[in-house]
Amino acid sequence: MTAEDAAPAGRPVGLKPDAIGFVDALVIGLNSTSPAYSLAAIIGPVVALVGIYAPGVMLASFVPMLLIASAFYYLNRVDQDCGTTFSWVTRAMGPWAGWLGGWAIAMTGVLVVGSLADVAVSFALLAFGLDSWVDNTFVRQLLTVLLILVMTAVCVIGTELSAHVQNVLILAQVACLLVFVAVALYKVYDGTSEYDEIDPAFSWLNPFGAGGAALTGGLLLGVFAYWGWESAVNLTEEVEDSATAPGKAGLWSTVILLVSYVSVAFAVVAYAGPAFLAENADEEEFIFAQLATDVLGGWDWVLLLAVSTSAIASTQTTIIPASRTALSMARRRALPEHYAHISPRHRTPDVSTWWVAGIAIAWYLVVSRISDNALFDSLTALSLLISFYYALTGLACVVYYRRHLLESVHNFLLIGVGPLVGAGLLTWLLVRSVMDMSDPENSYSGTSWFGLGPPLVIGISISLAGVLAMFARRLWAPAFWQERPGVADPDLVPGHSHGHGHGHES
């Protein structure tokens, strides 16, 4: 494609419309959560907290995600902007809140991409029997950086290529997980588990079975496990039927994740028993490596490869929200304008995509030099940013539609009460996160930074950096801060005649 083919003469190059369909968006939303990796990372700690009620915690964690996914759906109906939370919160609550929401999304990508790629490389090496390479820090980090660069290139080359790669990865990932669940449950009922297996029971779905304090800790981990589904909505300007399909993809992603997470939680707890999982909770994702060997024997590479493909897929898709948010912010002058550059050939935000990857690589290498535990602490800090911008989005939905909430029961429940309750739950989890992270003993490092836990220091530092960057940009280029919040157009509200929202043009 030439530059002349990319856009009509005299018009700026934009993202490629109708590049992918609903199914592609759904797959990207699923892969962004990295289901196999997320399960590997949290299943041990969750069981350590709540025992046999791990499936119930996964069910409870689904509730705020579904409610916030509803907010994404209804906000996308009125504004198909790839900046999602940034654009919507700006519309509803003004530029200051919108800018901070955009910053939070961009920083989640920076914090997590390196860790995802590291896990992808580690599990791939384990799957191929190259255990010694995993222990070689230089080799592992070199392969991790190369993987980030390759996945970034895929993102830049085109959304269609990204979707094709994701379709293959999700099929491999889900197939591997289903094989693991089926074999594990068969061994439970056959009495051939190597651990103290227990028969599954419906009572395990009770999230309150282990008590309120344990549930809170489990929910914090659950939010991390479900996070990422909104990548489908960040592609809204590139998806067919952009007013509704991306939002539906986000909603369905959370439902499919619920089924996957609850199924694996049942299988793992039944096969290994809560005692073994609790004793080895500190091993995190490598519990899955051990269970893969025990459950699948010589076929353990199947599950190891599932975790690897999961992390590879998420390495790519996690770049999407950060890069599209930076693009959206830049074309409204909330960030320097060069971040809004779109490749004339590929019709993707090449500059912002490479910048996100570059900063993520730098973060990964610097934090890894401190220690592996410091890298895990930076991941823990993610829950602060995730809870913040999800809660902000739910609140923005209620504020933006406020004049229409009493027009029907549908509007009141799905656009008003649902997102508001979701925002409230996530705000509560945010406060609890701050309280838990203030204690250094709750960190992976187990050390004190300025009298606080390292994850909280990282979270506060990123937030302060965002505030300083916002004020600096306000002084340098004040145009964006002249925007004023508004309310939903009646023609775009459910129950009225429907028009079409528009993304913001460059």
Condensed to tens digits (0 to 9), the pLDDT of residues 118-170 reads 888 988 888 888 888 888 889 999 999 999 999 899 888 866 666 667 677 77
The pLDDT assigned to 506 comes to: 34
Read off the pLDDT of residues 383-396 as tens digits, 9 standing for 90 and up.
889 999 999 999 99
The pLDDT assigned to 184 comes to: 87
- The neighbouring-strand residues paired with 494 are 496
Amino acid at 447: T
Span 404-410, mean pLDDT? 90
Query: CA 377 → CA 54, 160, 315, 381, distances in Å?
Result: 23, 35, 18, 6
Rounded to 10°, the helix 382-400/54-78 angle is 50
Span 235-259, mean pLDDT? 87
With left for phi above 0 and alpha for psi between -120 and 50, is residue 503 left, alpha or beta?
A: beta
Read off the pLDDT of residues 177-217 as tens digits, 9 standing for 90 and up.
788 888 888 888 888 887 787 888 888 898 887 766 677 77
From the centroid of its chain, how far is CA 60?
18
Confidence of residue 398 (pLDDT cuts 50, 70, 90): very high
The pLDDT assigned to 433 comes to: 83
The pLDDT assigned to 381 comes to: 82
The pLDDT assigned to 22 comes to: 86
Confidence of residue 218 (pLDDT cuts 50, 70, 90): confident
Residue 341 has pLDDT above 70, yes or no: yes
Q: What angle do CA 281, 283, 284 make, to 5 degrees?
A: 75
CA–CA separation, 208 and 188 (whole Å): 25
Confidence of residue 444 (pLDDT cuts 50, 70, 90): low
Residues ≥6 apart with Cβ < 8 Å to 87:
79, 81, 98, 328, 332, 504
CA–CA separation, 15 and 64 (whole Å): 31
The pLDDT assigned to 441 comes to: 78
The pLDDT assigned to 11 comes to: 45
Residue 425 has pLDDT above 90, yes or no: yes
Read off the pLDDT of residues 25-40 as tens digits, 9 standing for 90 and up.
888 788 777 787 787 7
CA dihedral 313, 318, 324, 326 (to 10 degrees): -150
Average model confidence (pLDDT) for the chain? 83
Q: Helix, strand, coil % (nearest 5) of the chain?
A: 75, 0, 20
Confidence of residue 1 (pLDDT cuts 50, 70, 90): very low
Span 50-56, mean pLDDT? 87
The pLDDT assigned to 3 comes to: 36
Q: Is-contact 353 319, C-beta < 8 A? A: yes
CA–CA separation, 84 and 325 (whole Å): 7
Read off the pLDDT of residues 447-502 as tens digits, 9 standing for 90 and up.
778 888 888 898 899 999 999 999 999 999 899 998 888 776 766 666 654 444 44
CA–CA separation, 332 and 131 (whole Å): 48
CA–CA separation, 134 and 132 (whole Å): 5
Read off the pLDDT of residues 57-110 as tens digits, 9 standing for 90 and up.
999 999 999 999 999 999 999 899 989 999 999 999 999 999 999 999 999 888
The pLDDT assigned to 396 comes to: 96
Q: Is-contact 36 305, C-beta < 8 A? A: no
Q: What are phi and psi of 20, to 5 degrees?
A: -135, 165
Most confident of 173-182, 373-382, 399-408: 399-408
The pLDDT assigned to 176 comes to: 76
Span 240-268, mean pLDDT? 87
Confidence of residue 399 (pLDDT cuts 50, 70, 90): very high
CA–CA separation, 22 and 244 (whole Å): 9
Strand, helix or coil for residue 449: strand
The pLDDT assigned to 16 comes to: 77
Q: In this structure, what token pair is assigned to residue 28? A: 């990207």
Confidence of residue 287 (pLDDT cuts 50, 70, 90): low
Residues ≥6 apart with Cβ < 8 Å to 303:
36, 176, 177, 179, 180, 288, 289, 291, 292, 295, 296
Span 291-306, mean pLDDT? 73
